[in-house]
Amino acid sequence: MHSRCAALLFGLLAVSARADVVVGSKVFTESVVLGELATQLLQHEGIPATHQRELGGTTILWSGMLRGDIQCYPEYTGTLRAEIFAKQSLDSDEALRQAVKRSHVWASPALGFNNTYVLGMRKDVAQRLSVTRMSDLAAQPQLRLAFSNEFLERADGWPGVRAAYALPQEGVRGMAHDLAYRALASNSIDITDLYSTDAEIAYYDLLALEDDRRFFPEYAALFVCRDDVGEDVRQALSKLAGRIDAETMARMNARAKLEREPEAQVAGEFARDRLGIRLQSHRDDRAVRIGRRTLEHLAMVGLSLGAAVILALPLGVLAYRAPRFGRIAFVVADVLQTVPALALLVFLIPWLGIGYAPAIVALFLYSLLPILRNTHAGLADIPRDLRESAEALGLSAFARLRFVELPLAARSILAGIKTAAVINVGTATLGALIGAGGYGQPILTGIRLDDLGLILEGAIPAALLALIAQAFFGALERRWVRAK
Amino acid sequence: MIWFESVTHEYAHAVAVRDVTLHVGGGATTALIGPSGCGKSTLLKLIVGLAWPQRGRVIVRDEPVSPDNIARIRHRTGYVIQSGGLFPHLTTRDNVTLAARHLKRDEDWIDRRVNELIELVQLPTEVLGRFPGDLSGGQRQRVSLMRALMLDPDLLLLDEPLGALDPMVRHELQDELRSLFARLQKSVLLVTHDLAEAAFFAETIVLMREGRIVQQGSYRDLVDAPADDFVRAFLQAQRAHAVPAAHA
């Protein structure tokens, strides 16, 4: 709801939230392809639908769906079982269906492939050590393990694997899934978690170790939707039942990821060849994309910065006039500043959902400290004789503030706002992780696809925007603040 | 005009004014003199509420100074400090008229008053549009005096107003100020550490040391009947300064 209101505020930017059905996807290629496929299928059935791609991990998607920020997203039975309903032991498929239903979620029929976790290593290394099965790893304590962060924490991930196979390896690191392939290829690590339909397994000539103790559950792909979506949505998505086998999915992943075909095109061709339906898939050209992201980015930075000025400036004045309050305000702002940006974003999701609202609130909180601190410092640095001269003139406290103290502190206050703006431009790239778009979107996709061009498509405008913000406040300073 | 009744004011780490009782008459110029840190500037600050007595009270125009009447007292008192205290972000005109505009005085009245004052302190009118950073030291002190006189106060407090000026400018301004005070008929309380300047301006000189008044009287009184060895030493030091012994 909040993200809806926020999105409406931006008019132009409200691309996604206005549509009736919002399909989300996780931040890996297969999820994006499936999200794109579902979106096109719905559109083909005449249901207005948009795709909010690369929203983040399971927690963000699931809670975003329950809140209504998105309606549907692709999921896997194993993830539902081990991650979302981890506290209940849902052994049978029927028990799982019931649990999903109780959460007011509808689950589509399985799509036809099982994308289970596997542990992978380079074939040459595996051969040298004579490792073919996961149980062989117990005798190789020297192997360097690195897993995706989600796998590292999940019950059906590393903790469970380690217990089931009594593995001795220490110093296990967490890293992004897409980067782990490159780390394997460059011999920086020996083993990582893979998805069995990943295109890279063949590409990098990796060996998927046999799960000889049958530890990993089945990860049958399906769509989950809020149960208030219409019958037409359910019917449309049910058309995919059993239509995608593991080989097909792996090939689509390879095309999207290794051959750099847009996910929309990959999904479109699948629909044409396998379902016999022709979907329109269009792709904005680069200028339009950058323009849209610039607006998204500016909206995030502008709104958060504006709100921060409105709150932090009076607080800075108050902190200067009432030092005891000032000390408390500084402690609070300092603590806020130390919360990692990603943690803060995820922390805000239960209240604000996904999209603009949590991104703006997080950026707002980060902007408070520099403005508060510089307002206070600017006022405290006013020479005593000037403060006393203003008092001796018989000006009221408000008039002293308005005509003497704030103008004298203006240089410092503007510097604080400038600092906050520049930090904000950088931090706002993380907004893409929770569906707020902006320059972070191509960076995220670029990291996923190992595409430097895409990364630069986000990074260069972000750097430029930071420079422009700096120049803008510099000009403001020269115009408003007279040098002594 | 002003009564200090057993006033004590202590700063966090030092006593600035100790049990001072002093009467300053109206319409005359009184000089407060003494070594640095003797409490003379603090006496001025006690009058305009930049410092408040911890013991005793300060009475200005028959009213004890209090937070309730301090705004009125400030509007009727001009205050000039050594650095001028001009606001660097405001032009001369805005500095001078700030308080009058705050009190919503009539625009015509303000313009007339500015014209009178700029003539009085003998500054060219183009100075009105300049910022303090573009003025000479002497010009700044003239502007500061204009600002202090803007609301036509009957009391002027001057804290080393000429202390930061070079000797030539200082000498010239001393002459001007004395004739100005004579013309304006205001009560003036002048803080200085220069005995010659005190004698030049003031009928009454108040000599202070470590927060207390040591002697009060005319320059002649101090020279003819110094109250103690400190007064004698102070006079001696000032004279030695005027005519260095090595050249005598």
How far apart are alpha carbons A295 and A387 in whole angstroms? 43
Q: What is the mean pLDDT of chain A?
A: 87
- Position A441 pLDDT exceeds 90: no
Question: CA A202 to CA A246: how far, in whole Å?
Answer: 14
* Helices B167-184 and B137-149, axial angle in degrees (round to 10): 20
| In chain A, residues 281-340 whose CB comes closer than 8 Å to chain B | none
> What local confidence, expressed as pLDDT, does residue B16 receive?
86
Distance (Å, whole) CA B142 – CA B173: 9
The proportion of chain A whose per-residue pLDDT surpasses 90, expressed as a percent, equals 52
Closest CA to A248 of A77, A110, A113, A76: A113
CA distance A372 to A374: 6
> What gap in Å lies between CA A401 and CA B124, rounded to an integer?
31
The yes-or-no verdict on residue A348 having pLDDT over 50 is yes
DSSP state string for B12-29: SSSEEEEEEEEEE-TTSE
B98, A403: Cβ pair inside 8 Å? Answer: yes
Residue of A nearest to B48 (CA): A392
3-class DSSP state of A220: strand
Whose tokens are 């809140």? That residue is A67
More confident position, A433 or A403? A403
> CB atoms < 10 A from the CB of B182, how many?
9
Question: pLDDT tens digits, residue range A179-194?
Answer: 888 889 888 899 999 9
Residue B172: closest CA among B130, B139, B149? B139
3-state helix, strand, coil in chain A (%, to 5): 60, 10, 30
Residue A477 is predicted with a pLDDT of 83
pLDDT at residue number A444: 85
Q: pLDDT class for B240, splitting at 50, 70, 90?
A: low
Mean pLDDT of A30-52: 91
DSSP state of A280: -
Helix (H, G, I), strand (E, B) or coil at A435: coil
For residue A12, pLDDT over 50 is answered with no
Q: Which residue of A has its CA nearest to B133?
A: A484
Residue of B74, B89, B133 lying closest to A394 (CB–CB)? B74
Domain boundaries, chain B: 1-67+189-248
Average pLDDT over every residue of B155-165 = 89
Chain A environment of B131 (Cβ under 8 Å): 482
Which residues contact residue A199 at a Cβ distance below 8 angstroms, ignoring those fewer than 6 apart? Answer: A29, A250, A251, A253, A254, A255, A256, A257, A258
Q: How many other C-beta atoms lie within 10 A of the C-beta of residue A236?
A: 23
Average pLDDT, chain B: 89
Whether the pLDDT of residue A474 is over 60: the answer is: yes
Contact B79 A392 (CB under 8 A): yes
Which residues are paired to A24 by β-bridges? A52
pLDDT at A107: 94
**Which pLDDT score is estimated for A170?**
87
Average confidence (pLDDT) over A441-450 = 84
Q: How many residues does chain A have?
A: 484
* ipTM (interface predicted TM): 0.90
CB spacing of B131 vs A390 below 8 angstroms: no
Please state, in angstroms and rounded to a whole number, the distance separating the CA atoms of residues B11 and A46: 81
pLDDT at A13: 39
Cα–Cα distance list, A293 to A304, A345, A440 (Å): 17, 19, 9
H helices of chain B, in order, are: 40-47, 70-75, 92-102, 107-120, 137-149, 167-184, 195-201, 219-224, 229-242
pLDDT, residue B248, reads: 36
Query: How far apart are the C-alpha atoms of A84 and A92, rounded to whole Å?
Result: 15
- Tokens 């699931």 sit at which residue? A62
Percentage of chain A with pLDDT > 70? 94
Over the stretch B36-72, which tens digit does the pLDDT of each residue have?
888 899 999 999 999 999 999 999 998 999 999 999 9
Amino acid at A299: A
Spatial separation of the C-alpha atoms in residues A404 and A77, rounded to whole Å: 66
Q: Please name the member of B85, B102, B131 whose beta carbon is closest to the beta carbon of A389.
A: B85
Identify each DSSP E strand in A330-433 by its residue range: none
Inter-chain CB proximity B83 and A385 less than 8 Å: yes
Task: Look at residue A426 and give its three-state secondary structure.
Answer: helix
Read off the pLDDT of each residue in A426-450 and give the average, rounded to a whole number: 86
Which fold, B1-67+189-248?
A: Rossmann fold (3.40.50)
Residue A129 has a pLDDT of: 92
Identify the structural domains of chain A with CATH numbers, from first to last: 18-108+218-274 (3.40.190.10), 117-208 (3.40.190.120), 286-480 (1.10.3720.10)
DSSP-derived secondary structure letter, A192:
E
d(C-alpha A257, C-alpha B138), whole Å: 76
- Comparing CB atoms, the residue among B85, B131, B147 nearest residue A386 is B85
Q: Which residues contact A64 (CB under 8 A, 6 or more apart)?
A: A24, A55, A70, A349, A353, A354, A435
The DSSP code for A242 is T
Task: Identify all chain A residues contacting B77, using CB atoms and an 8 Å cutoff.
Answer: 392
Predicted pLDDT of residue B183: 86
B contact set with A (CB within 8 A):
45, 48-50, 70-72, 74-75, 77, 79, 81, 83, 85-90, 98-99, 102, 131, 133, 147
Q: Which residues of A touch B49 (CB under 8 A)?
A: 391
A242-294 residue pLDDT tens: 999 988 999 999 888 888 888 888 998 888 888 887 766 556 677 888 888 89
Q: Do B85 and A385 touch (CB under 8 A)?
A: yes
In the three-class reduction of DSSP (H, G, I as helix; E, B as strand; rest coil), residue B218 is classed as coil
Mean of pLDDT values over B141-169: 91
Where is B77: in which H helix or E strand? strand B77-81
Give the predicted TM-score (pTM) of the model: 0.72
Residue B154 to residue B148: CA distance in whole angstroms: 11
The answer to whether residue A64 scores a pLDDT higher than 50 is yes
pLDDT digits (tens, 9 = 90+) for B135-147: 998 899 999 999 9
Average of pLDDT values for A125-142?
A: 92
Which residues are CB-contacts of B81 (< 8 A; sequence separation ≥ 6)? Answer: A385, A388, A389, B144, B159, B160, B161
Mean pLDDT to the nearest integer, B105-117: 94
Contact present, A177 and A257 (Cβ < 8 Å): no
- What one-character-per-residue DSSP string does A136-177 give? GGGG-TT--BEE-HHHHHSTTSHHHHHHHHT------EE--H
Cα B28 to Cα B188: distance, rounded to the nearest angstrom? 6
**pLDDT of B237 strictly over 90:** no
Interchain CB distance below 8 Å, B81 and A395:
no
- Cα dihedral A59, A64, A66, A70 sign: negative
Residues A380, B168: Cα–Cα separation, whole Å: 36
pLDDT of residue A90: 79
Query: CB atoms < 10 A from the CB of A183, how many?
Result: 17
